[in-house]
Structure 1
């Protein structure tokens, strides 16, 4: 269902409320869809993506100004389609009630079960940077758990939102799935609905507002936020391999990824070599920044902010290195050439907020403890990327720095593992989804106790006697 909202904002909010009420009503009438129904829903998600692949790729590119089709197909289509396939394969096992231990002394013949049950109506607030992935990946978990969903997309993804809203009705009725564009800035009203769960992906600041709105209804929230995710290259790791991997992920989607490398620690004597390697990699991979392989910055505001970030760093003493022969980029297409920022300090804007662009600050270190100390003095990051062959050093970074997730000797790949949960910690988020943890996140894991024929509590009922005391003392001895 497409919610264009040509009417007033008040009418738009009323329409959203009406759809929510309808979804809740239908859920209450059939609160536990069977596995076959859930699999059918998952297959419809996959079919919607597959049937409209070219249109979706083009809509995303149009919203960006230019978005690499290869990056869209890999990051948005492959990851989601493979995740749906894996979820269908695992769903029977996930839905099966779990047996839990019973304290048999008191409850002979009784049993315990943990039964996954649908929550009801789930709200999803989608950002603009990976709008198809961050719509369909959550829906995979939401539908697997047997829920209904309302999805609000970013106003920066208006073309994709219009497309998905238009075609979704061919696959799902609005009481199952409704997709909303946001040309009326309805975010606060959307997050204030009494959802049974609300998933938000976006900035930390907006996440605080979303959580505040949800709190009025005690709506549980999953927040997938930003965070300055560091990479650290150890002296033992081949620098050319590290540069190859780090620069690939840093420039994917022109750096507009919440889990990308936001800053890099290098040994003092490795900086020049890393700069040289990065120049060669950019020349080989992006000989023409105007090509369709290099993604645009999402809008003029973000484009100007990134240039201001570069100028601010230079004015405050950083050495700014443009890695492209085209140092000016293109303002019309919003293409910014890749930059390295050497001697970055906390006084610079580039180290104060998530960059979301093709700019990589570099800090130097001598001891691993310096890296740990610096990261731990700041908000907990969404990801951590240690590069070292030393298992003890890997473990040192993993155990001494808390982050949402970790990829060792590469970047971002933990996010695409279907059997690993994805989520932040602290200012980088709360809660997890993907795979089984996504199924659990959008389920009520409901504990159920089944009373046996004999009631083990009967001897403990009043009036309390000497026999009661003996039984209780016996129980206490067993418990110790």
Structure 2
């Protein structure tokens, strides 16, 4: 649906009325929603992959299968296996002073959830929040990115075929539509995108006191510790950096490594890139940059760094091709903090190398900057790992690999500080899109009347007892 603001409000009203008619859908309803979503993913898998590739210029089908279809199906099946259990009230006993009363945590759907989707993984970052919102019993409006117009339009039409308009609705359109969407009085709003846009989304949501989950970004570091398996570290860092041509919110943004190993990294990076991407520009296995303006931004970051004294080390066997928006992987050496490439999130296949003289220096470098969405640490020494984890903050961490913390259903995914707020995935997502209503159930026979006025010696004796019990 590419509709004016009035239609957005009408859709929200339609969903809100449906929610009021069935404010706590039974598991049979929720599992039915998940079944239809799975059927859509399986039946439209080829069409979705083709549309995403066309929007990018080139996007390997294999990457769409691995990084979008698979985690969507896996998350969906996990929710279907566990969702009935998540829905159950959590019963407990009241605090000692209030026994024999009882307590209950009652999960209830928030109502109508809004989801704003970025362009870099347009399927997974639409379906992932959708799974969590549906298993929690919500109706959902999804705003797709205008930078993937072909896929966004296809996804909107297919969702309309598999879901009723008061269950799930997909909205397409430009930045003005996105602005109007973020200003709707949702019961919860999840935004994935840049920190700069996140400010605007949160400001718009604040007009209605809409709770928000912000999945932003930042400069996610990879630290190669002194006890790392070096060749392994280089391979996994390059893998995390180069899938989707680095257009990944949790891609390693720069590498901190021992000063004496910089040359070794360069040598190993050439070897690894040649192995992972032989004939990198010809085989269609390396993604294009999504749009001309993003291609220009990346080349400007690289060229300005070189002008300021950095050295660009191209990896692979091909030069850049603006017509196809092909940008070869490039290491950047001799960088400094005054360069834009070291201040802005890169979001492309450029990888600065930052040498350190001690692991504590590397830790201080990370800790002294805005908290990243992800942190990657390569080392086999337990004390080093524990020291880095204790002294740094990040939305999530993977040790001795990259990216894969996002794929763990038992771990919440989200940022901290400037890289975001809140989290989702698995049970954490169910809780994000639920109101965990606290209920206190007073027992029929209880002693609360002993605390009633008029206040006298009996009251004072009871208060002394409460002080001891508390």
TM-score range, shorter chain: over 0.9
Computed over aligned residues only, the root mean square deviation of the Cα atoms, in angstroms, reads: 1.1
Match of 2:172 in 1: 181
Match of 2:47 in 1: 55
Match of 2:440 in 1: 449
Deviation at 1:184, TM superposition (A): 6.2
After TM superposition, the structure 1 = structure 2 runs for residues 391-470 of structure 1, keeping only pairs within 5 Å, are: 391-470=382-461
Distance 2:48 2:371 in 1: 34
Deviation at 1:423, TM superposition (A): 0.4
Answer whether contact 2:19 2:112 (CA < 8 A) is retained: yes
- What SS does structure 2 have at the residue aligned with 1:321? strand
Distance 1:13 1:439 in 2: 29
Distance 2:95 2:377 in 1: 45
Match of 2:258 in 1: 267
Residue 306 (str. 1) matches residue 304 (str. 2): no
After TM superposition, the structure 1 = structure 2 runs for residues 295-374 of structure 1, keeping only pairs within 5 Å, are: 295-327=287-319, 329-374=320-365
Residue 205 (str. 1) matches residue 196 (str. 2): yes
Residue 162 (str. 1) matches residue 153 (str. 2): yes
Deviation at 1:449, TM superposition (A): 1.1
Number of aligned residue pairs: 469
Deviation at 1:98, TM superposition (A): 0.8
* Residues 335-393 of structure 1 deviation map (CA, whole Å, 9 limit, x = unaligned): 00110001111111110110011000000011111111111221110111110000110
Match of 2:270 in 1: 279
Match of 1:153 in 2: 144
Answer whether contact 1:153 1:182 (CA < 8 A) is retained: yes
Deviation at 1:186, TM superposition (A): 0.9
Distance 1:293 1:106 in 2: 64
Deviation at 1:104, TM superposition (A): 4.5
Answer whether contact 1:372 1:400 (CA < 8 A) is retained: yes
* Residues 6-58 of structure 1 deviation map (CA, whole Å, 9 limit, x = unaligned): xxxxxx11101100011011101110001111111111111111110110001
Deviation at 1:259, TM superposition (A): 0.3
Comparing 183-192 with 44-53, greater Cα deviation is found at 183-192
Deviation at 1:416, TM superposition (A): 0.5
Runs of at least 5 residues in structure 1 that lack an aligned partner in the other structure: 6-11
Deviation at 1:273, TM superposition (A): 1.3
Q: What's the TM-score once normalised by structure 2's chain length?
A: 0.98
Answer whether contact 2:106 2:437 (CA < 8 A) is retained: yes
Q: What's the TM-score once normalised by structure 1's chain length?
A: 0.96
- What SS does structure 2 have at the residue aligned with 1:310? helix
Match of 1:22 in 2: 14
- For residue 286 of structure 2, the aligned residue among 281, 290, 294 is 294
Answer whether contact 1:71 1:252 (CA < 8 A) is retained: yes
Distance 1:467 1:268 in 2: 74
Deviation at 1:455, TM superposition (A): 3.8
Runs of at least 5 residues in structure 2 that lack an aligned partner in the other structure: none
Distance 2:382 2:412 in 1: 23
Answer whether contact 1:116 1:443 (CA < 8 A) is retained: yes
Match of 1:4 in 2: 2
Answer whether contact 1:125 1:200 (CA < 8 A) is retained: yes
- What SS does structure 2 have at the residue aligned with 1:317? coil
Match of 1:478 in 2: 469
